[in-house]
């Protein structure tokens, strides 16, 4: 069984706006969502900047009693899912037993974890919340969405670090494509801006320690010195194409390819030869029926770490061939949002769908000093209008996880 899978709903909670409309218009306009850390007192850690979600009030989506029982990452997931479900109009049209949830998160309830460790140290084990475990575990956002929308098929997290969002979507696509589900809620969520998190990434030398928000997240720029940690969520409603068409749903695009590989090389460093990433891209392109000469938008993983951006450039050259790789329109929207870890791939899937729908690719902000080792077209500074045939989104995670999703418009 090989069924087509389309997107009929989208929702986003990001550092540059809550709601897909705000997210996308700010992205096109070059708004940067990076600013000083306010989630905790950052005076003890090396990094002072993050991509925080501004003005998020969980009471806009949740009852008061629910708020205290959900980690911030789960609250984001509910907000994004709520928008996606509303947009899709899918509620009430499906058999709950044929509805699945695949929701990625790189870490899980990081704030909950840290807060309860502090309680343990300060006040002892009797003060560790009975909600500590359920709020912390990484599968809970998927479980909560299943409860909320009565999706009774598979409900699984993808926990592949920064590839989680893309892996979740890819696995949901496979579930529908091969007949295990008709409808899926899928995407990713993350709320990692906590002191222990920033301290840990700092100790890895993974984060930028820049103090200027416009010179911190610098994908493909020679000045890049690490990523900027960010938070958010993005959720898609996926449906089998015929059912979506028959119920008259608005279709935002088709997911036509998915590649999933592992470097099998190192805990955190990408393979220098980029073989794993290149195979993920190649697999997605093969499923998508890519042909040389097509106009392609690439939403790069583009974290702004030295190793990623060089390896990703290499992977694109291997997968597309040197000549076609030079024709690609590539951007890293992490230049605007920072790196939402397990939510990144899901938010970037929305970027790909919007780029295809509106014939415009958002820019890589603040790309002023090209790196000779990153020598492709990364759409510096301002958006570009072009009619794309295909869009792909790369996501690579610690653990060596590589995921690539491919998207097309419905009806050419």
Partner 1 sequence: MDVFQMIATALADRYGLDASEITPDTELISIGVDSLDAAELLMALEEKIGVEIEPTKKLATIKDVVATVEAAQNESDSF
Interface contacts to partner 1, rule CB under 8 A: 63-65, 68-69, 126-127, 129-131, 134
Residue pair 61/78 in contact (Cβ under 8 Å)? The answer is yes
- Which active-site residues does the annotation give? 162, 301, 339
Q: Which of 153, 149, 152, 150 is nearest to 82 (CA)?
A: 149
* Comparison of 69 and 306: residue with beta carbon closer to partner 1: 69
Residue 379 in contact with residue 364, Cβ under 8 Å? yes
Residue 111 or 182: the one with the smaller Cβ distance to partner 1 is: 111
| CB-nearer residue toward partner 1: 78 or 87 | 78
The residue assigned the tokens 């909950």 is 112
**What tokens were used for 135?**
């709020």
Classify residue 268 by its DSSP letter: S
Distances (CA, A) of 39 to 16, 22, 56, 285: 16, 22, 12, 40
Alpha-carbon radius of gyration of the chain: 20
Residue with smaller CB distance to partner 1, 67 or 199: 67
Is residue 101 within 8 Å of 156, Cβ to Cβ?
A: yes
Give residues with Cβ within 8 angstroms of 144, minimum separation 6.
Answer: 70, 74, 77, 78
Identify which of residues 140 and 256 has a Cβ nearer to partner 1 in the complex: 140
Please list, in sequence order, all residues whose beta carbon lies within 8 angstroms of the beta carbon of residue 203, skipping any fewer than 6 positions away: none
Task: Tell me the HSE value of 333 on the side-chain side, using a 13 A CA sphere.
Answer: 35
- State the nearest-atom distance from the C-beta of 321 to partner 1, in Å: 56
CB of 127 to partner 1, least distance (A): 6
Least CB distance to partner 1 at residue 155 (A): 20
Shortest Å, Cβ 71 to partner 1:
15
- Closest to partner 1 by CB, 65 or 292: 65
Distance CA 213, CA 210 (A): 7
The number of beta carbons lying within 10 Å of the beta carbon of residue 38 is 11
Question: Would you say 232 and 189 are in contact if contact means Cβ atoms under 8 Å apart?
Answer: yes
Q: Work out how close the CB of 125 gets to partner 1 at its nearest, in angstroms, rounded to a whole number.
A: 11
DSSP 131: T
Minimum distance of partner 1 from residue 121's CB (angstroms): 16
Q: How far apart are CA 403 and CA 280, in angstroms?
A: 6
Q: How far is the CB of 37 from partner 1 (least distance, A)?
A: 29
Q: At what angle do helices 344-358 and 20-28 cross, to 10 degrees?
A: 70
Best CA proximity match to 377, nearest among 305, 307, 320: 320
The DSSP output letter for 138 is T
| CB closer to partner 1 out of 134 and 213 | 134
Q: Give yes or no for a contact between 73 and 141, defined as CB atoms under 8 angstroms apart.
A: yes
C-beta of 14 vs 75, nearer to partner 1: 75
CB of residue 140 to partner 1, shortest distance in Å: 13
User: Shortest CA distance to 190 belongs to which of 111, 99, 94?
Assistant: 111
């Amino acid at each position: 069984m090989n069924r087509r899978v389309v997107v009929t709903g989208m929702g986003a909670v990001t550092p540059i706006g809550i709601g897909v409309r705000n997210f996308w218009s700010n992205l096109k306009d070059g708004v940067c969502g990076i600013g000083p850390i306010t989630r905790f007192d950052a005076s003890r850690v090396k990094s002072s900047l993050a991509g925080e979600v501004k003005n998020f009030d969980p009471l806009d989506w949740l009852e008061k009693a629910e708020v205290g029982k959900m980690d911030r990452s789960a609250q984001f997931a509910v907000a994004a899912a709520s928008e996606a479900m509303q947009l899709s109009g899918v509620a009430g049209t499906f058999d709950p037993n044929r509805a699945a949830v695949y929701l990625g998160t790189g870490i899980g309830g990081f704030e909950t974890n840290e807060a309860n460790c502090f309680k343990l140290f300060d006040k002892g084990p009797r003060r560790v919340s009975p909600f500590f475990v359920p709020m912390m575990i990484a599968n809970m956002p998927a479980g909560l969405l299943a409860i909320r929308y009565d999706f009774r098929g598979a409900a699984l997290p993808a926990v592949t670090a920064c590839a989680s969002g893309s892996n979740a979507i890819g696995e949901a696509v496979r579930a529908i494509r091969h007949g295990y589900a008709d409808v899926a809620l899928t995407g990713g969520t993350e709320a990692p801006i906590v002191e222990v998190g920033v301290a840990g990434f700092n100790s890895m030398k993974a984060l930028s320690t820049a103090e200027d928000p416009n010179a911190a997240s610098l994908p493909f720029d020679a000045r890049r010195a690490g990523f900027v940690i960010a938070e958010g969520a993005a959720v898609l409603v996926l449906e089998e194409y015929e059912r979506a068409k028959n119920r008259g749903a608005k279709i935002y695009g088709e997911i036509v390819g998915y590649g999933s590989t592992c470097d099998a090389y190192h805990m955190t460093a990408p393979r220098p030869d980029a073989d794993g990433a290149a195979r993920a891209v190649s697999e997605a392109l093969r499923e998508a029926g890519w042909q040389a000469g097509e106009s392609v938008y690439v939403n790069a993983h583009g974290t702004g770490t030295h190793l990623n951006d060089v390896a990703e450039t290499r992977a694109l050259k291997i997968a597309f061939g040197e000549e076609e790789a030079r024709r690609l329109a590539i951007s890293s929207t992490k230049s605007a949002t920072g790196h939402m870890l397990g939510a990144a791939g899901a938010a970037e899937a929305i970027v790909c769908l919007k780029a295809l729908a509106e014939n415009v690719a958002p820019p890589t902000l603040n790309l002023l000093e090209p790196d000779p080792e990153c020598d492709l077209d990364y759409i510096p500074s301002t958006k570009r209008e072009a009619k794309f045939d295909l869009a792909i989104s790369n996501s690579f995670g610690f653990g060596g996880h590589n995921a690539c999703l491919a998207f097309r418009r419905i009806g050419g």
